[in-house]
Amino acid sequence: MSRVFSGIQPTGNLHLGNYLGAIRKWVTMQDAHECIYCVVDLHAITVAQDPATLRNGIREMAAALIASGIDPDRAILFQQSQVRAHAEIAWVLMCTARVGWLNRMTQFKEKSGKDREGASVGLYTYPVLQAADILAYRATHVPVGDDQKQHLELARDIAAKFNTDMGIDVFPLPEPVIEGPATRVMSLRDGSAKMSKSDPSDAARINMTDDADAIAQKIKRARTDADALPSEPAGLAGRPEAANLVGIMAALSDRSIADVLRDHGGQGFGQFKPALADVMVAALAPINARFAVLRRDSAAIDAILAKGAARASAIAEPVLADVHRAVGFTG
Ligand code: TRP
């Protein structure tokens, strides 16, 4: 049996990059798998957070996930800090992971930037906590954006070393699930940069809360080259902005890039952009409407998260007990 686990940080608003990169896949996977989805507040505090903003961000992210189609009656949706196994297994795995392994993590290098000495120790050990998240449920499949590939490799290395060191197979090795057209959504202003919540230009991203006018405006202003769309995927080589918009179209309409180009090849952006905006509005408007209702009912969101934490704990506690036994803490 396969078990799916994934996590998302409760910082900032959900944007199209999060939605197409991960959340849509989370929603689809609910149909065929046991799914566990986690708002990773322990990860959030690896960089400075204002407590009131974090508190609000946790609820908002839960509401946004439900609005996007996560069904808390089927999938388990919960808040990481409320299940103790994450932090407790992470400590044990910090004694399994090697400093040399963490030194190779590119995300730490990017996030710590020039001031590496001033970064928190938590930011450095972030990927070990991520491994604990997954392994605490013995998850077999982990849907993520392609920027998380290296962290998933590390989780596998940690699981394998723990099993070998303790001489008992406590953890299965988790598989990343990365495929799909627009898994990596790029900035609308720069086809070589990822769409990001921290981009200073709001025009660079589509927020899940953008209304139809904002979406149409941003797509209209999106940077492109001057050529018409090619009729085959190979023609997108060296055209990152065009490739990004076509990839977004494909993902939003559940078609391949080849199919989109079969329909839109030969069109200029003056023609393609309004078509893309229409598809985007149709996909996002219902999510937007559900989110507007949900975010006003924080008591309901808190109840969903509490129930999710209880269900998650019921799975993770026996794994934590197995870890304790494997290490020799208990008999
Ligand atoms: N690091 C992931 C990200 O930034 C979030 C995350 C935390 C996660 N724990 C996880 C993803 C476990 C998958 C599985 O996107």
Q: What is the pLDDT of residues 106-164, one digit of tens each?
A: 999 999 999 999 999 999 999 999 999 999 999 999 998 888 999 999 999 999 999 99
Average pLDDT over residues 227-249: 97
Per-residue pLDDT reduced to its tens digit, 88-104: 999 999 999 999 999 99
Average per-residue pLDDT in the chain?
95
Give the separation between CA 102 and CA 234, rounded to whole angstroms. 37
Contact 281, 252 (CB under 8 A): no
Per-residue pLDDT reduced to its tens digit, 260-301: 999 999 999 999 999 999 999 999 999 999 999 999 999 999
Superfamily of domain 3-182+297-327: HUPs (3.40.50.620)
- pLDDT computed for residue 12 by the predictor: 77
- pLDDT computed for residue 120 by the predictor: 98
Contact 93, 135 (CB under 8 A): yes
Per-residue pLDDT reduced to its tens digit, 203-223: 999 999 999 999 999 999 999
Residue-wise DSSP of 166-221: HTS---PPPEEE--STTSSPBPSS-TTSB--TT-S-GGGS-BTT--HHHHHHHHHH
Lowest mean pLDDT among 22-31, 180-189, 213-222, 320-329: 180-189
Give the start-to-end residue ranges of the domains of the chain.
3-182+297-327, 202-292
What is the share, in percent, of the chain residues with pLDDT greater than 90?
91
End-to-end CA distance of the chain: 29
Query: What's the distance, CA 221 to chain centroid?
Result: 27
Average pLDDT over residues 233-245: 97
Q: Is residue 1 predicted with pLDDT exceeding 80? A: no
Q: Is residue 181 predicted with pLDDT exceeding 70? A: no
Give the separation between CA 44 and CA 225, rounded to whole angstroms. 37
Q: Where are the alpha helices (DSSP H) in the chain?
A: 16-18, 24-29, 41-44, 51-67, 85-94, 99-103, 106-112, 121-135, 149-166, 212-221, 240-252, 257-264, 269-294, 298-327
**Global confidence as pTM:** 0.92
SS3 296: coil
Ligand 1, closest atom to CA 143? 13
Average pLDDT over residues 27-56: 96
Show which residues are catalytic. Answer: 111, 194, 197
Q: How many CB atoms lie within 10 A of CB 46?
A: 20
- pLDDT computed for residue 98 by the predictor: 98
Top mutation candidate among 3, 5, 8 for ligand 1, by most atoms within 8 Å of CB: 8
- pLDDT computed for residue 13 by the predictor: 81
Give the separation between CA 48 and CA 120, rounded to whole angstroms. 9
Q: Give the CA-trace dihedral at 215, 221, 223, 224, to 10 degrees.
A: 90
Measuring from each residue's beta carbon to the nearest atom of ligand 1, which residues come in under 6 Å?
5-9, 40, 43, 130, 133-134, 142, 144, 148, 151
Give the separation between CA 156 and CA 285, rounded to whole angstroms. 38
- pLDDT computed for residue 179 by the predictor: 77
In one-letter notation, the amino acid at residue 187 is S
- pLDDT computed for residue 198 by the predictor: 86
Give the separation between CA 222 and CA 190, rounded to whole angstroms. 9
Average pLDDT over residues 43-69: 97
Q: 202-292 — its CATH code?
A: 1.10.240.10
Top mutation candidate among 14, 133, 183 for ligand 1, by most atoms within 8 Å of CB: 133
Q: Is residue 182 predicted with pLDDT exceeding 70? A: no
Give the separation between CA 179 and CA 317, rounded to whole angstroms. 32
Per-residue pLDDT reduced to its tens digit, 21-35: 889 999 999 999 999
